[in-house]
Amino acid sequence: MANVILDMRGITKEFSGVKALDDVHLTVEDDEIHALVGENGAGKSTLMNILSGVYPYGTYEGMILLEGAECSFRGIKDSERHGIVIIHQELALVPDLSIAENIFLGNEQAVTGIIDWNKTIHRAGELLNKVGLDENPSTLIGNIGVGKQQLVEIAKALSKEVKLLILDEPTAALNDEESDKLLDLLVGLKERGVTSILISHKLNEVEKIADHITVIRDGQFVETLSRGKDDFHEDRVIRSMVGREITDRWPQREHEVGKEIFRVEDWTVYHPQYEHRKVVDNVGFTISRGEVVGFAGLMGAGRTEIAMSLFGRSYGQNHSGRIYIDGEEVPLRSVDEAIEHGVAYVSEDRKTYGLFLIQDIKNNISLANLKRLSANGVINPNEEIIQADDYRHRLSVRCRGLGQTVQTLSGGNQQKVVLGKWLMAEPNVLLLDEPTRGIDVGAKYEIYTIINKLASEGKGVLMISSEMPELLGMCDRIYVVNGGQIAGVLAREDASQESVMKIIMTHQKTLVKG
Amino acid sequence: MNQLVAYFRNNIRQNGMVMALVLIMVLFQLLTGGILFRPMNVNNLVLQNAYVLILATGMLLVIITGRIDLSVGSVVAFVGAVSAVMMVDWGISVGVTIVAALVIGAAVGAFHGYLIAFLKIPMFITTLGGMLIWRGLTMVILKGQTKAPFDRSFQAIAAGYLPGREIRIGNFNTIALIFGLALSVVFVILVLNARRNKIRYGFEVIPRWIEALRILFIVFAINLLTFSLADYNGIPIVLILLLGLVSFYTFITDRTIFGRHVYALGGNAKAAKLSGVKTERVLFLVYLNNGVMAALAGLVVAGRLNAATPKAGVNFELDAIASCFIGGASATGGVGTVIGAIVGGLVMGVLNNGMSILGVSVDWQQTIKGIVLLLAVFFDVMTKNREATH
């Protein structure tokens, strides 16, 4: 057996009572590419954050052995000193600084605080050579593409004499050619003695370059596969990733699907900053009365972008396509119009896009409905309180009173306040984006009950979720979204974690070819 | 007694400001040997501070959106200068001039608002530019000189009194006394009405005797003011203007959709947008409104000085901004009340006036005002932190 460079043993990490990682172990050998795979929320990032010192020693249980010595990292700087460098999905580069400046950011080539620019540029050039990036070190980061930025990140890691490189979804934003180049680079680095841990959803890439694959699921270690010994085939890995019994965590509902209420055709949207980048590509789907429709997909698949752009064009630019409500084409050009036509959107990020944290529950619930509570622009304060109180009770928001500020509520109750706002608008179509993210199991059940009740009242519900079991438990139909397109649709009977993953993987290949 | 303590604790931020104001007033009443509350000085307090209070009211809306407006002092001077040219050089009537001045203020505010809200030019830069532009144009228009005098009817806005000065009971102006009583009655009716409505809808109300104490306190304050004024020249016209503005903007912020949208914009612009608030339009209107308020203050300042000068309104924007923050508005937006800004403005005004009577030099006055501003905001941040951790 080759030398073991990293051995993580019995890692357990809790977030306010919820176990994100439970007795996980990870053994990485010298000079290998070790893939770490698992569903969204399985705990991959948490594990890597522990390794890189983001969660410092003492906030977790278990031990980390690096080259046989136990480590207790107090922060990122600490782990970097030991040769561990993590490259996050969201690149940590400053767009207005040059490539060279970014490579040595925080590690400036300086003598007594004064930067030696010649040395900086020269060394940056050498590092760019190593990663095979043919760019002038003085070029601004903002002027090169994401793929090249990724290479700069790696050059930055190499400048710190990295032993163990961790890459979190490095190819998520790259096209096929860029991905290939990056993967080749990793193989090249391996030959030069740099060990990599690769987190990726693209199992075909993993299959191609990994020496070992460690699978974690629901915060628990499942298995480690070795090249040459085990089957690396996608199907095999997917089964390992999702193989979980679905228990009865969802309230029962009568599935009475009525007439179509919401239809989208040829919906195409471009990125808000880069006008040539298509984010939503020719999407079409339908929702019927009484139906809960799911959007499954990986992170960055474009689900949120679809929902937000449909809701009064709140995302992107150059929207095209048609939206029908009850068979009639409607122009939802602004949020106002969307609300008027009975559409509501509950954002995945309630603190940024949903709540007014410093304001009270009443003001939060009533904001989208002030027109109905007022005459000639003047609000009837009593009516407002009565109505807000009504929705507070309907959703059983646990609070001291309507006057409590929202920032002091728990995540689940905050989510109920957001839902209350949109229920008060009496919508017919609800677009719910990750409605149960970051809330505890009990509150989740309550939210599911509310969703079922809405469906039984004849409303159409679209539910976006990264938790596959949740979609399988709640939805009548599931659309699989990938690369900004609808990759496929599954009826309730046909939907399973495997079938969804299969569609994504197949579609990924067509994207690559196209 | 426990109820009273609970009431103060639950409303510590609102009551804290008022208590601070009362404390400062009592302090200076003692320090100045009773000069502060002399009828003439009370009258001066009103006339001297009217412009700050008008500016603070407009600035409050801007601050609730999480922004500031540095241009108002220059707009005050600019509007004064234009009005002076119209009346003194061109002989245009007072009425037409006032309307024109307000329209100019609206146009200036709309200009700033358009740049900030629709063209997304940072508000700091826009209003800093405005500050320079309108100050510069003031000097251009006045050619660096003072323009005066104005018609008596124009001066009356800032320095005039309600008529009927000869009707007196003993030494007191009858109109002022009646005005005070009428104001008290209207106030009591409004409070009782609101209370009855709350009870009718089954909401919690504060205990009856605390409500009674509160009413008594405010009625006492109102009549103390009108008694003092009655002992002097009667009710200043600018006081009526102020009361009208305060009532109007309290109504706007408390009771209208527009007001709620202003708070929403300041509280969380992204969430406001996704809730159907037309955030750009709201921001535009807030700046437009602030232009109008600056113009109004400009007329008052010009009327009081009976002249338009190139140096009018210097640093007024800072007084207005400080008033809002002393009055509990938050620099990050989403929080603040008109009454708070007025109380904040009065704190500054009483400090100015009291220290002047005591003969404190201007440099020390500045220093002390700065310390009071920091103390007020410090207190505010502390109570907010405590609320958040509860």
Each domain of chain B, given as residue ranges in start order, spans 2-160+236-367+379-389
Q: Please enumerate residues of A whose Cβ is less than 8 A from a Cβ of B.
A: 311-312, 314, 334-336, 338-339, 345, 347, 352-359, 363, 366-368, 370-371, 374, 377-379, 381-382, 385-386, 401, 405, 407-408, 421
Contacts of B204 in chain A (CB under 8 A): 401
User: Is the alpha carbon torsion for A245, A247, A251, A253 positive or negative?
Assistant: positive
The whole-number pLDDT of residue B248 equals 96
Rounded Cα–Cα distance for residues A336 and B272 (Å): 11
Beta carbons of A275 and A318 less than 8 angstroms apart:
yes
Beta carbons of A74 and A252 less than 8 angstroms apart:
no
Biggest alpha carbon–alpha carbon distance for chain B: 66
Contacts of A339 in chain B (CB under 8 A): 276
DSSP code, position A143: G
Biggest alpha carbon–alpha carbon distance for chain A: 79
Residues in chain B, pLDDT under 50: 390
Token output for A213: 């694959």
A17: region left, alpha or beta (phi > 0 left; psi from -120 to 50 alpha): left
A296 phi and psi angles, rounded to 5 deg: -105, 155
Residue A360 pairs in a beta bridge with A405
Residue recorded with tokens 């409104």: B289
Beta carbons of A362 and A304 less than 8 angstroms apart:
no
Q: From the list B201, B256, B334, which residue is nearest A359 (CB)?
A: B334
User: A314 CA to chain B: closest CA distance, Å?
Assistant: 7
Contacts of A214 (CB under 8 A, 6+ apart): A26, A34, A35, A36, A37, A221, A223, A224, A225
The whole-number pLDDT of residue B15 equals 77
Helix ranges, A140-272 (H):
146-159, 176-191, 203-209, 234-242
Residue/partner pairs of B374-379 with CB below 8 Å, 24 or more apart: B376/B17, B376/B20, B376/B325, B376/B326, B376/B328, B376/B344, B376/B347, B377/B325, B377/B326, B377/B331, B379/B16
For residue B181, the one-letter residue type is L
Q: Is the peptide bond before B149 cis (omega within 30 degrees of 0)?
A: yes
Residues of chain B by 3-state class (helix, strand, coil), percent to 5: 75, 0, 20
Beta carbons of A34 and A197 less than 8 angstroms apart:
yes
Q: Going edge to edge, which strands form the sheet with A260-270? A: A278-288, A260-270, A317-325, A328-329
Nearest CA in chain B to A346: B274
Beta carbons of B285 and B261 less than 8 angstroms apart:
no
Rounded Cα–Cα distance for residues A148 and A133 (Å): 7
Closest listed residue to residue B190, CA positions, set B263, B239, B251, B258: B251
Rounded Cα–Cα distance for residues B326 and B21 (Å): 10
Residues of chain A by 3-state class (helix, strand, coil), percent to 5: 35, 30, 35
Contacts of B329 in chain A (CB under 8 A): none
CB atoms within 10 A of CB A114: 8
Catalogue the E-assigned strands of chain B: 168-169, 172-173
DSSP code, position B64: H
Closest listed residue to residue A215, CA positions, set A229, A190, A234, A189: A234
Beta carbons of A179 and A171 less than 8 angstroms apart:
yes
**pLDDT tens sequence for chain A (514 residues):** 568 899 999 999 887 666 788 899 999 999 899 999 887 667 888 899 899 888 888 889 999 999 888 988 888 888 988 999 998 877 788 888 999 999 998 888 888 889 889 999 999 999 999 888 888 999 998 888 888 888 899 899 888 888 899 998 888 777 777 888 889 999 998 988 889 999 987 788 888 999 999 999 888 899 999 988 888 887 788 888 877 544 556 787 777 888 999 999 999 999 988 888 889 999 999 999 999 999 998 877 899 999 999 999 999 899 999 999 999 999 899 999 999 999 999 998 888 899 998 899 999 999 999 988 999 999 998 889 999 999 999 888 888 788 888 988 878 889 999 999 999 999 999 999 999 877 766 678 888 999 999 999 999 999 999 888 889 889 999 999 998 999 999 998 899 888 998 898 888 888 766 5
User: A268 CA to chain B: closest CA distance, Å?
Assistant: 20
Q: From the list B274, B387, B388, which residue is nearest A335 (CB)?
A: B274
First-last CA distance in chain A: 42
Rounded Cα–Cα distance for residues A405 and B307 (Å): 49
The whole-number pLDDT of residue B390 equals 47
Rounded Cα–Cα distance for residues B293 and B85 (Å): 20
Residue A317 pairs in a beta bridge with A270
Which H helix or E strand runs over A279?
Answer: strand A278-288
Residue A430 pairs in a beta bridge with A344, A461
- Per-position b or e across A418-446, b if 16+ CB within 10 A of its CB: bbbbbbbbebbbbbbbbbbbbbeeebbeb
Beta carbons of A418 and A355 less than 8 angstroms apart:
yes
Closest listed residue to residue B313, CA positions, set B63, B178, B168, B142: B142
The whole-number pLDDT of residue B183 equals 93
Rounded Cα–Cα distance for residues B94 and B153 (Å): 7
User: Is the alpha carbon torsion for A411, A413, A415, A417 positive or negative?
Assistant: negative
Closest listed residue to residue A367, CA positions, set B302, B93, B261, B140: B261
Contacts of B203 in chain A (CB under 8 A): 385
Q: Mind listing the domains of chain A with CATH numbers? A: 1-83+193-244 (3.40.50.300), 260-513 (3.40.50.300)
Which site among B247, B254, B268 would you substitute to test the A interface, given the most A Cβ atoms closer than 10 Å to its Cβ? B268
Nearest CA in chain A to B330: A358
Rounded Cα–Cα distance for residues B14 and B122 (Å): 32
Contact B267 A377 (CB under 8 A): no
The whole-number pLDDT of residue B180 equals 92
B45 phi and psi angles, rounded to 5 deg: -55, -45
pLDDT tens track for B64-88:
999 999 999 999 999 999 999 999 9
Q: Please enumerate residues of B whose Cβ is less than 8 A from a Cβ of A.
A: 197-198, 200-201, 203-204, 254-258, 260-261, 263-264, 267-268, 270-278, 330, 334-335, 387-388, 390
Closest listed residue to residue A324, CA positions, set A259, A261, A267, A268: A261
Closest listed residue to residue B249, CA positions, set B129, B318, B341: B341
The whole-number pLDDT of residue A246 equals 43
Which site among A356, A371, A376, A407 would you substitute to test the B interface, given the most B Cβ atoms closer than 10 Å to its Cβ? A356
Establish how many alpha carbons lie within 13 A of residue B305's alpha carbon, considering only the half-sphere containing its beta carbon: 21
Rounded Cα–Cα distance for residues A79 and A83 (Å): 7
Question: What's this model's pTM, rounded to 2 decimal places?
Answer: 0.80
CATH 1.10.3470 describes domain B2-160+236-367+379-389? yes
User: Is the alpha carbon torsion for A19, A22, A27, A33 positive or negative?
Assistant: negative
User: Rounded to the nearest 10 degrees, how much is the dihedral formed by the CA atoms of B241, B246, B248, B249?
Assistant: 130
Closest listed residue to residue B68, CA positions, set B357, B322, B265, B264: B322
ipTM of the complex: 0.84
pLDDT tens track for B265-315:
999 999 999 999 999 999 999 999 999 999 999 999 999 999 999 999 999
Token output for A406: 């929202």
Rounded Cα–Cα distance for residues B138 and B145 (Å): 10
User: Rounded to the nearest 10 degrees, how much is the dihedral formed by the CA atoms of A500, A505, A509, A512?
Assistant: 100
